[in-house]
Amino acid sequence: MKKIKIAVIGTGRIGQMHIENIANLREYFELIAIADSYNDHLEEIADKYQIPVFTKNYQDVLTNKDVEAVLIASSTDTHAEIIMAAAENGKHILCEKPIDTEIERIKKVLAVVKEKNVFLQIGFNRRFDHNFHKIHEYVTNGSLGDPQIIKVSSRDPEPPSLEYVKISGGLFSDMMIHDFDMVRYLSNSEVTEVFANGAVLVDPKIGDAGDIDTAIVTLKFANGALGVIDNSRQAVYGYDQRAEVFGSKGQAFSENDRLSNVELDNATGGHVDKIPVFFIERYTQAYVDELKAFYATVTEHKEPAITGFDGLQAVKIAQACLESLKTHKPVVLK
């Protein structure tokens, strides 16, 4: 098996998770460089994973001839710039979502990627989750017939800090964006219209910061199906991640994973284990499979599992939801 020489740009919590996964996929990747402008522990990380090169300047990584691909896990506002620079240097790219928050800027990024003929995969990790992937398989292999109703529930265990809320771009762009991608994935179709209801039920300070913490969005799809997504910033029982597709031949739905499959029965009833609280714990396997898919794309020269276009569409839907919330009317996607 040929190994891909890869570099990671951005070494925060999620960047370090990717570094760990890449290091463990030792038959797939050779991790030869990491870059981060802000992390004071770069050397320590490089040492732990025996990474030859570490630098505060991501340009060093992009001009490194040995580097074939980069994984971008830096802050959202740097994604567009780094993707374009990586493409200019002929590197294949796996970039965390979202590409950017502005449609025009995303289009420009995608044009550069296309021109430079490199692969760009977007980090919508949930597509690789065993549960959602299985539902998608049932949709795609015809087990469900024509999809008619698509439902996604996605609830965080607790709200992010108010500081983060203020710069997050809002619930639709920051949190529900995963679900916009998910409904496209599960319906095998495009969203044509949305209507958004939102509320501040978890913490009034989130409302003061100009955001919502609870939302229900209904959607229409090009294939005629209807859909609904619900989000809450706070599910006290854990990280609630479920989906359902109903079609002309049946339905498929996923339950939450639990920490164990043990049931306790006692005088007060039956009791089952908790669901995971932390997103990395919930999507451990999905983050690994995301890397394997990127490997296949690069080595087999095939279309990324999640393209730049997928990244663009999710942002478009998020912006339509924001408009719907403000105008209190359904919004047609252009």
What one-letter code names the amino acid at 150? I
Piece of 115-123, 175-183, 251-259, 303-311 that binds a copy of itself (CB under 8 A): 251-259
**Residue among 62, 82, 65 nearest 74 (CA):** 82
Q: Is 258 in the site for a copy of itself (CB under 8 A)?
A: yes
User: Of the candidates 15, 227, 304, 308, which one interacts with a copy of itself according to CB under 8 A?
Assistant: 227
Cα gap 213→204, rounded to integer Å: 9
Q: Cis ω on the peptide bond leading into residue 98 (within 30° of 0)?
A: yes
Cα gap 227→224, rounded to integer Å: 10
* β-bridge pairing 53-55 and 29-35: parallel
Question: From the CB of 125, what's the least distance to a copy of itself, in Å?
Answer: 16
Kindly identify the residues of this chain, within the stretch 275-294, that bind a copy of itself according to CB under 8 A.
275
What one-letter code names the amino acid at 159? P
Closest to a copy of itself by CB, 197 vs 307, is 197
**Six-digit token pair at 40?**
């004071």
Q: Is 48 in the site for a copy of itself (CB under 8 A)?
A: yes
- Eight-class DSSP state of 125: G
Kindly identify the residues of this chain, within the stretch 259-278, that bind a copy of itself according to CB under 8 A.
259-275
Kindly identify the residues of this chain, within the stretch 114-143, that bind a copy of itself according to CB under 8 A.
130-131, 133-135, 138, 143
Cα gap 322→334, rounded to integer Å: 14
Q: Is 52 in the site for a copy of itself (CB under 8 A)?
A: no
**Residue among 262, 254, 289, 257 nearest 276 (CA):** 257
Question: From the CB of 272, what's the least distance to a copy of itself, in Å?
Answer: 4
User: Of the candidates 31, 202, 206, 322, which one interacts with a copy of itself according to CB under 8 A?
Assistant: 202
Phi-psi region of 103 (alpha: psi -120 to 50; beta: other; left: phi over 0): alpha
User: Of the candidates 17, 53, 216, 296, which one interacts with a copy of itself according to CB under 8 A?
Assistant: 216
Q: Whose structure tokens read 């994984």?
A: 71
Query: Applying CB under 8 A, what is the total number of residues that bind a copy of itself?
Result: 75
Closest to a copy of itself by CB, 214 vs 313, is 214
What one-letter code names the amino acid at 200? V
**Residue among 12, 153, 2 nearest 76 (CA):** 12
User: Of the candidates 67, 220, 314, 331, which one interacts with a copy of itself according to CB under 8 A?
Assistant: 220
Question: From the CB of 210, what's the least distance to a copy of itself, in Å?
Answer: 18
Piece of 32-40, 116-124, 167-175, 223-231 that binds a copy of itself (CB under 8 A): 223-231
Kindly identify the residues of this chain, within the stretch 53-112, that bind a copy of itself according to CB under 8 A.
none
Q: Is 49 in the site for a copy of itself (CB under 8 A)?
A: yes
